[in-house]
Amino acid sequence: LYLKALEMYGFKSFADKIRLEFNPGITAIVGPNGSGKSNIADAVRWVLGEQSAKVLRGSKMEDVIFAGSDRRKPLGIAEVSITIDNSSGFLPVDYSEVTITRRVFRSGESEYYLNKTNCRLKDINELLMDTGIGKEGYSIIGQGKIEEILSVKSEDRRHIFEEVAGIVKYKSRKEEAEKKLEDTKQNIIRINDIIEELQ
């Protein structure tokens, strides 16, 4: 499972459509200050459903759309697609490649697609839950994040490791099951009371 390609159009400084292809192993992106290296990481965060403009280093969501330059007019739409290699079948879908697309218009509407089929953000979140890829999956470590991880309380740090290890799903299911069990216990007590009253 690895990030195979990133395509974008109208996202931040990338007014023209570009396609970056990645291979397994290490890829380094180099370039002068302000050339758009961090914008590439922002694009990956954004397509995975990031809702916070601040995390994307802007003040409102519209800031991800190309705002124009001396020579070019602003655009009205931004679109980013990432293609994840799934030949190992790690993601629970019958496709060897999964392409996630997000599109936003200046009006603020966002659209999401899974392999070109319109879907909800929830579908993408469910597909990526506990895979380590989602926006909470710590697959993208921004500047300053390592320091933050080291300085948080030990319980919070434990939560981070649990998320990375993919056990949060089981913990939340366990909590749900425990709650149901407790509700059922209370119901039994109530029923026994009623039976006693009737006898």
List residues near ligand ATP by CB under 6 A.
Answer: 12-13, 31, 33-39, 63, 65-67
Nearer to ligand ATP, 32 or 92 (CB): 32
**Residue 192 assigned as binding residue:** no
Nearer to ligand ATP, 18 or 119 (CB): 18
Pairwise CA distance, residues 6 & 3, whole Å = 8
CB 97 within 8 A of CB 84: yes
**Residue 185 assigned as binding residue:** no
**Token pair listed for 189:** 């007590």
Nearer to ligand ATP, 11 or 112 (CB): 11
CB of 56 to ligand ATP, least distance (A): 9
CB of 127 to ligand ATP, least distance (A): 27
**Residue 39 assigned as binding residue:** yes
Based on its alpha-carbon atoms, the radius of gyration of the chain, rounded to whole angstroms, reads 22
**Residue 33 assigned as binding residue:** yes
**Residue 38 assigned as binding residue:** yes
**Token pair listed for 36:** 């758009």
Beta pairing partners, 85 = 2, 97
Pairwise CA distance, residues 22 & 2, whole Å = 8
Nearer to ligand ATP, 39 or 101 (CB): 39
Packed helices 154-165 and 168-198: angle between N→C axes, nearest 10 degrees: 100
| Feature table: binding site for ATP | 32-39
| Feature table: binding site | 32-39
